[in-house]
Amino acid sequence: MKVALFGASGATGQCVAAALLSEGVKVKALCRKADVMADFAGELTVIQGELDDKKAVSETLCGCDVAICVFGPRLPYTDIFCAEATAVIVESMHKLGVHRLICQTGAMVGDYPNNRSWAFQEMVDLFNHRYPALAADRSEQERIVRSSGLQWTILKPPRLTTGHVNEEIEVGCDLPVGVLSSASRETIAHWLIRELRHPLHIGETLFFLD
């Protein structure tokens, strides 16, 4: 199996790359700066480029079986790019015949009041009021994935932490998430491996509860 990894330079992307490689999965990673993947030198293929660069995205996807997207905005949230980047990836996947897409957004993204405690929904509303363009971009990203015609899965973990792997993490479409909910990046990466090996959640939007 060969995976195209988008967002590999971030904290979650690094965990996912390490987990994939430890399981013998071949990885091609698109990065703005190749040196951020120096810890994986010789273990994976790095394609240098931007997420909206169609040529670089196609080069990353070429020969792969699965695309994993774990990119997202960073403070001060002035760089709005997730929807556009996802659209480029989806277009390239169709052209190259890559059918499986796993995309991580987050528990704060989109309109899911039934999955959130009252306090958490209040926090989401405040965030969306402060960063409306960002909120709209991330919601549009999810819409693009759902309407892609691909074999997609959307992951919506709560606050991400660094820690041990929880083999018993709860995963589901109807899980309630609160302000204090969290999941370790290592756990998400470990779960991803299981889903790649045994795809059980195609066409589902999943919340996580560690």
pLDDT tens digits, residue range 55-111? 999 999 999 999 999 999 988 898 999 999 999 999 999 999 999 999 999 999 999
CATH 3.40.50.720 matches 2-209: yes
pLDDT tens digits, residue range 129-177? 999 999 999 999 999 999 999 999 999 999 999 999 999 999 999 999 9
**Band of pLDDT at residue 210, cut at 50, 70 and 90:** confident
* 22/40 Cα distance (integer angstroms): 11
Decide if pLDDT at 117 tops 90.
Answer: yes
- Pairing mode of beta strands 204-209, 170-172: antiparallel
* 74/97 Cα distance (integer angstroms): 31
pLDDT of residue 169: 93
* 200/79 Cα distance (integer angstroms): 34
Which whole-number Å values give the CA distances from 128 to 108, 114, 131, 190, in the listed order? 9, 17, 5, 30
Show the tokens assigned to 92.
């390239």
Which whole-number Å values give the CA distances from 166 to 68, 125, 157, in the listed order? 21, 30, 13
Decide if pLDDT at 119 tops 90.
Answer: yes
Collapsing DSSP to helix, strand or coil, 49 comes out as coil
Average pLDDT over residues 43-52: 95
* 45/27 Cα distance (integer angstroms): 6
The domain locations on the chain are 2-209
